[in-house]
Amino acid sequence: MGSSEEALIRLGRRIGAEQDEILRRRAPDPEARARLFTADAARRAHPSRQTRKRFVGAALGVAAAACLLLCFVVAQRPLTFHVGAGEGAYAGRAGAFIATPTGRMVPVVFSDGTRLRIQPDSSVRIASVDRAGGRVVLENGALEATVVHHEGTRWLVDSGPFEILVTGTRFHVAWDLAAERLTLHLVEGSVVVAGPILGEGIALRSGDTLEVNRKEGRFVIHRDNPETREAPDVPQNAAEPPSLPEDPPEKTTDAPPPPAPHVPRAAPPRKTTLPPAPPGPSWRDLAASGKYKDALEAADREGLGAIYEAGSAADLRDLGDAARLTGDTARAVEAFSALRRRFPADEQAAEAAFLLGIIAFDKQGAHAEAARWFATYLRERPRGRLAREAAGRLLEARLRSGDKPLAREAARAYLRDFPGGPHTEVARAAAEDE
């Protein structure tokens, strides 16, 4: 058995035990049997109707399947594409890597009419194509895209760590790998851009230019209609109604595409700069959506000291969790310590004790200290929701720190309070180890 499989079995066993515990606590459904009787009675009352339904259904199913099969075969064919122009053009395949030379632009034309103009000195990979679109990776440089909209069109353009979701639109995008700068100018249509700093997705409309400086953790949207769009869209789950009036597309077709990364080429739009801090979604939003590293960075920009002193118990807990889950032990300890200092009677403070124990145990190998934290949790919340876990960890911590008498005591307490828990075997062994 490989170590990976062993790890998965360990993980699965813990998860299964947790699920069993959740199921054990589940409230019984007194109506469930009655509903089953009703459903069964209805089934028995209409057996012939069911049979007829099955027959008609089967006949219709065969006919529909034949039609669908035909449509499916036609519709599932992935798009094809050609790289280059004129006699030098060649058929490309998914996975194709295209590096353009200095001073020469290379066009890529897809069978649905979508066109890319890869700017000089750029590296692009056509990562995949399917029947509705594809995924293009701009590794460095710039490209101009004209995506033709069809029903179900879905194109993704990855530029460094940023993802641009497109249905039908025309835009220029430049990604400077060394400077970690993304510039995207939307000529027409609308796109959603997601990635670091931007969160789950920021919607752009025609005329918008987005500039992201990843190194500085900032982004700016230049907009040419400040009356209606003074503030940038809320990045978190930004949804843009398709019926929103769009700005007239800029006159760009007569001019050559801009060299990367200088965009836009139309009349310079009026600039809307974000307030200095914090750009993008708040650290709370980022933490809530599981983007712990980004959350921590955002909290850092906001000022960790201020959060420690003025944040709520829930804030400190979330901040501590974000730090813990990204491996930033020092900040996790700071946040949980602040939580315990400022809200000593809060449930979260007790759980912070448990988590400080986890950090001491897992990250610092400080088993005696970990044992003190787990004991603190059990003293403060003997019937808390983490009590079983804390009791098990207390036992482990005492075993690891070599304190046999205290380990025996913890083992007996565990067997008494949580018989059948996941540490039962360890506890039995420790309790009998005289």
Instruction: Tell whether residue 233 is a contact of other proteins (CB under 8 A).
Output: no
Q: What is the smallest separation between the CB atom of 287 and other proteins, expressed in angstroms?
A: 8
Choices 61-69, 120-128, 234-242, 369-377 (CB under 8 A): range interacting with other proteins? 234-242
Among 113, 248, 268, 290, binds other proteins (CB under 8 A): 290
Binders of other proteins among 39-68, rule CB under 8 A? Answer: 39-40, 43-44
413 binds other proteins (CB under 8 A): no
425 or 432: CB nearest other proteins: 425
Residue numbers 110-139 binding other proteins by CB under 8 A: none
The answer to whether 13 contacts other proteins (rule: CB under 8 A) is yes
Interacting span for other proteins (CB under 8 A) from 2-10, 63-71, 99-107, 249-257: 2-10
Write the interaction track for other proteins spanning residues 368-407; mark x where CB under 8 A is met and - where it is not: -----------------xx--x------x-----------
The yes or no reply on residue 97 touching other proteins (CB under 8 A) is no
- HEC sequence for the chain: CCHHHHHHHHHHHHHHHHHHHHHHHCCCCCCHHHHHHHHHHHHHHCHHHHHHHHHHHHHHHHHHHHHHHHHHHHHCCCCCEEECCHHHCEEECCCCEEECCCCCCEEEEECCCCEEEECCCCEEEEEEECCCEEEEEEEEEEEEEEECCCCCCEEEEEECCEEEEEEEEEEEEEEECCCCEEEEEEEEEEEEEEECCCEEEEEEECCCEEEEECCCCEEEEECCCCCCCCCCCCCCCCCCCCCCCCCCCCCCCCCCCCCCCCCCCCCCCCEECCCCCCCCCCHHHHHHCCCHHHHHHHHHHHCHHHHHHHCCHHHHHHHHHHHHHCCCHHHHHHHHHHHHHHCCCCHHHHHHHHHHHHHHHHHCCCHHHHHHHHHHHHHHCCCCCCHHHHHHHHHHHHHHCCCHHHHHHHHHHHHHHCCCCCCHHHHHHHHHCC
Is residue 33 involved in binding other proteins (CB under 8 A)?
A: yes
Among 20, 216, 309, 433, binds other proteins (CB under 8 A): 20
Binding map of other proteins across residues 157-186, x = CB under 8 A, - = no contact: --------xxx-------------------
310 binds other proteins (CB under 8 A): no
Positions 334 through 363 that interact with other proteins (CB under 8 A): 348, 351, 354, 358, 362
Our finding on whether 328 is near other proteins (CB under 8 A) is no
Q: Is 319 in the site for other proteins (CB under 8 A)?
A: no
| 201 binds other proteins, rule: CB under 8 A | yes
Does position 12 interact with other proteins (CB under 8 A)? The reply is yes
Binding residue (CB under 8 A) for other proteins from 185, 317, 340, 408? 317
